[in-house]
């Protein structure tokens, strides 16, 4: 069960309207690594969790917090759009001062959203559930969560540095700090699961069925051999079950693919060694 309280988790008060920046801020709301994405990702991971209750509770704790972050960003975007009617955009071409402020505004903020935030990214692409990952394997999911928080914090930092509005920066500083915590949280959970299950996902697959000759071979498929200097090219593997080896100029191990001709009803190209059909004469 969820319930709502009127206060935001943290302040979301810009010093002044800025409809152009509102468009940019949409990225960490409705973009691939925005707050809507992590909110939905964590909630579904939690609702679907069949592992220990501590993991389910932890995932839903952070998923619920992300709802608050969505609300903060939507509130901030709406205030950045204050006093930005569509008529001012039409005047932008006539007045260079207005044009500098309004020319980069997302027109859908006025036409579709009524000066409110939208579940879109910064170029107007609608948020999609395809951004979310909830596989049922917590180690795989937590690694995806770490990536999401890493990308989200990176984007929030970039947005922080392209505004001088103290109110916007104050809100972003809070979100950036929470992303710091969440990255550390997922790292801790990943470490805990790796200690129990090992680093390779899934741990339940019988490795006898994989082609073990290439399980730890780093194959250099590009020009140059700088990659051989990496930790991934020599030494013990991180699962403790093998030794990395570096293979320069790896040989092809498969057959030359030759497909059977398609039947005539498919109307594909007829191979040169087949006679043309009667209708072709």
Q: Does 192 carry a binding-site annotation? A: no
pLDDT of residue 107: 85
What confidence score (pLDDT) does residue 143 get? 98
222 annotated as ligand-binding? yes
18 is in an annotated binding site: no
Q: Is 164 annotated as a binding residue?
A: no
195 is in an annotated binding site: no
pLDDT tens, 11-24? 999 999 999 999 99
At 71, list the tokens. 């609300």
Axis-axis angle for helices 166-197, 53-80 (nearest 10): 160
Convert the pLDDT of each residue in 97-136 to its tens digit: 555 455 688 888 888 898 999 999 999 999 999 999 999 9
Strand order in the sheet with 243-248: 217-220, 243-248, 235-236
Question: Binding residue per annotation — 69?
Answer: yes
Residue 224 scores a pLDDT above 60: yes
pLDDT, tens only, 40-84: 999 999 999 999 999 999 999 999 999 999 999 999 999 999 987
The CATH number of domain 19-197, selected from 1.20.1260.10, 2.40.420.20, 3.60.21.10, 3.40.50.720: 1.20.1260.10
Confidence of residue 158 (pLDDT cuts 50, 70, 90): very high
CA distance 241 to 244: 10
Task: Please report the pLDDT score of residue 1 as a whole number.
Answer: 87
Query: 182 a known binding residue?
Result: yes
The full DSSP string for the chain is -----SS-SS----SS--HHHHHHHTHHHHSTTSHHHHHHHHHHHHHT--S-HHHHHHHHHHHHHHHHHHHHHHHHHHHHTTT--HHHHHHTTT-HHHHHHHTT--HHHHHTSSSS--SB-TTSPBP-GGG----S-HHHHHHHHHHHHHHHHHHHHHHHHT---HHHHHHHHHHHHHHHHHHHHHHHHHHHHHHHH-SSS-TTS-GGGS-GGGTTEEEE-SSS-GGGGSGGGSEE-TTSS-EEEEEESPPP-SPPP-PPPPPGGG--PPPTTSPPPGGG-
Please give the model's pTM, rounded to 2 decimal places. Answer: 0.87
The full set of domain ranges for the chain reads 19-197, 207-248
11 within 8 A of 99, measured Cβ to Cβ: no
> Is residue 281 pLDDT above 80, yes or no?
no
């Amino acid at each position: 069960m969820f319930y709502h309280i009127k206060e935001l988790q943290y302040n979301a008060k810009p010093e002044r309207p800025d409809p152009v920046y509102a468009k940019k801020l949409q990225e960490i709301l409705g973009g691939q690594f925005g707050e809507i994405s992590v909110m939905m990702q964590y909630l579904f991971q939690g609702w679907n969790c069949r592992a220990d209750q501590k993991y389910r509770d932890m995932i839903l704790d952070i998923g619920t917090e992300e709802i608050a972050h969505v609300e903060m960003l939507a509130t901030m975007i709406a205030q950045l759009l204050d006093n930005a009617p569509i008529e001012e955009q039409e005047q932008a071409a006539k007045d260079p001062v207005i044009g500098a402020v309004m020319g980069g505004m997302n027109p859908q903020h006025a036409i579709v959203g009524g000066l409110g935030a939208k579940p879109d990214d910064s170029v107007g692409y609608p948020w999609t559930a395809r951004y979310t990952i909830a596989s049922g394997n917590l180690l795989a999911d937590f690694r995806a969560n770490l990536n999401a928080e890493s990308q989200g914090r990176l984007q929030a930092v970039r947005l922080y540095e392209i505004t001088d509005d103290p109110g916007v920066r104050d809100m972003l500083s809070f979100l950036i700090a929470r992303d710091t915590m969440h990255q550390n949280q997922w790292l801790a959970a990943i470490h805990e699961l790796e200690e129990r299950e090992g680093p390779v996902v899934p741990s339940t697959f019988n490795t006898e069925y994989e082609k073990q000759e290439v399980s730890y071979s780093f194959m250099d498929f590009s020009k140059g051999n700088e990659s051989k200097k990496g930790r991934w090219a020599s030494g013990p593997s991180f699962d403790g079950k093998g030794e990395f080896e570096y293979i320069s100029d790896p040989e092809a191990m498969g057959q030359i693919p030759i497909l059977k001709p398609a039947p005539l009803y498919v109307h594909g190209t007829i191979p040169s060694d087949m006679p043309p059909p009667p209708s072709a004469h």
